[in-house]
Structure 1
Amino acid sequence: MRKLLNNLLVACAVVGFFSLVGCSSQNDPDKQLSQVFQQGQLAPAQFFTGNAYVIGMVSSDSVFTTAAGEVYFEAGARSNWHLHPSGQILIVTSGVGYHQLIGEPIELIHKGDVVKCPPNVLHWHGASKDSAMSHIYIVPNIEKGIVEWKQPVTEEEYLTVND
């Protein structure tokens, strides 16, 4: 009985601790989200609006023919319109963001979502207006090319979210 009581007290203490830690950051959506990997380098302003940070995780090579990394977007930050000759997979690791394929409505994306960007389809992605967002990107078949950057997403385009 004493062992059961001790286990119950330890479990309550652990749950209480994580509840306190979780609540402290939920009240401020502009606070930096916890990232899975270290923050990367500030992304070039010619390809991003706002502050986005990129870190490569899998360098492109002829064996795996895949590039992968993580991008952290501060609230309101986003990529330019762009496309990938072989497509792209995004795995949202934290926060809330937006993703849009050309001609389609903007999609709201959350931690845990997986997004497939089809080959050669113009699209953009980034953080929501009120929350930072990070995602892992995977670009397969890099022998066909990695990315073609296009024009910035305008404020008007960015603000047409239907959430």
Structure 2
Amino acid sequence: MSYLTIYKAGSRPAQRANPDYFTGTVWLEPVIDAPGPARISAAKVIFEPGARTNWHTHPYGQTLQVLTGAGYVQVEGQERLDILPGDTVWIPPHVKHWHGARADSVMIHLALQEKEGGSAAEWLEPVSDAQYKAG
């Protein structure tokens, strides 16, 4: 009996992200969607220039690790912040936010979050072009 699961590189290719939850072109490359009782899910997220998430929250918060490119993250009611390679962002539970690439750059980040009731996020309305550009 094996206690490990190994996903070989390239065995789970990136897939286009659900356009109901993203603006622009975004690709998701799965890292882990652990079986219960574990709750962790993680993905490498590739944002083409100007692409972004909708506003959303996470039941247990979210950690973002920027791998390459340049992007933004914003909490509702606060100013938009720049994020760059090597930056790690912690978003607390139930905090409404969005993240994505700058208009002139691809951005790739690792997104880690925990699921509650099978869901890791509550997806809300899109980030308007005006909100995105407002900075």
Q: As a proportion of its length, which structure holds more strand?
A: 2
Q: How do residues 25-104 of structure 1 correspond to structure 2 at under 5 angstroms?
A: 40-104=14-78
What are the Cα deviations for residues 99-155 of structure 1, in whole angstroms up to 9, with x where unaligned?
A: 001111000000100001110011000000110101001103x23641000000001
User: Deviation of residue 64 (structure 1)?
Assistant: 3.0
Task: State the Cα RMSD in Å.
Answer: 1.5
Structure 1: distance between partners of 2:35 and 2:61: 17
Alpha-carbon distance between aligned partners in 2 of 1:136 and 1:66, rounded to the nearest angstrom: 13
The higher radius of gyration belongs to 1
SS at match of 1:89: strand
- Superposed CA offset, 1:53-76 (max 9, x none): 001111132243210111000000
Structure 2: which 5+ runs fail to align? 1-8
Give the Cα–Cα distance (whole angstroms) in 2 for the partners of residues 143 and 44 of structure 1.
20
Hey, what does 2:3 align to over in structure 1? none
Give the AA of the match of 1:118: P
Indicate the residue corresponding to 1:5 in structure 2. none
Return 37-46 or 105-114, whichever deviates more.
37-46
What's the TM-score, normalizing by structure 2?
0.86
Structure 1: where are the runs of 5+ without partners? 1-36
Using structure 1 for the length normalisation, give the TM-score.
0.72
Alignment-derived partner of residue 81 in structure 2 = 107
1:83 counterpart letter in structure 2: T
Higher RCO (C-alpha 8 Å, min separation 6): 2
- Matched with 1:143 is 116
Q: What percentage of aligned pairs have identical amino acids?
A: 39
2:104 is matched with 130
Larger helix proportion of the pair: 1
Deviates more, 1:63-72 or 1:117-126: 63-72
Between the two proteins, the alignment pairs up a number of residues equal to: 124
What amino acid sits opposite 2:116 in the alignment? E
User: Compared with structure 1, are the counterparts of its residues 96 and 119 closer, same or farther at alpha carbon in structure 2 (3 Å cutoff)?
Assistant: same
